[in-house]
Amino acid sequence: MTKDIIEEKINYFLVDEFEVEEEEIAPEANLKETLELDSLDFVDLVVAIESNFGVKLVGEDFVNVKTLQDFYDLIESKLSQKTV
């Protein structure tokens, strides 16, 4: 899966499912604050990632995720590990 498709899919479920305003979506956006995602939302992010990408994340995976770009990178890295 290409980087563009990963970003597109993530942006889509953030807007559609998590009701994040489209204009708030930017690579530098802070995932927790700008997008107003609380601790419960992170559980739902895990569900969305599993259903969209087939990978299961755990809480520790999010430790270094601050921005949306970090989030895209995390998924890309998980998908490449899965392929390997």
Partner 1 sequence: MRRVVITGMGIYSCIGKNLSEVKESLYSGTSGIVFDQKRKDFGYRSPLSGMVEEPNLKKFLSRRERISMGEEAQYAYVATREALENARIDQDFLDNNEVGILYGNDSTAKSVIESVDTMRQKGDTTLVGSGAIFKAMNSTVTMNLSTIFRLTGVNFTISAACASGSHAIGMAYQLISSGLQDTIICGGAQEINELAMGSFDGLGVFSTNQDPAKASRPFDSGRDGLVPSGGGATLIVESYDSAIKRGAPILGEIVGYGFSSNGEHISTPNVEGPSRAMLKALKQANLKPEQIDYVNAHATSTPVGDANEAKAIVEVFGPKGPCVSSTKSMTGHECWMAGASEVIYSMLMMEHSFVAPNINLENPDEDAAQLNLVKKTLNKKIDVFLSNSFGFGGTNSALIIKKLS
Binding site for partner 1 (CB under 8 A): 17-19, 38, 40-41, 43-44, 46-47, 50, 56, 58
Least distance CB 18 / partner 1 (angstroms)? 6
18 close to 41: Cβ distance less than 8 angstroms: yes
- Which of 27/59 has CB closer to partner 1? 59
What Rg, from alpha-carbon coordinates, does the chain have? Answer: 12
Q: How far is the CB of 42 from partner 1 (least distance, A)?
A: 8
Mutual angle of helices 68-83 and 39-53, in 10-degree steps: 40
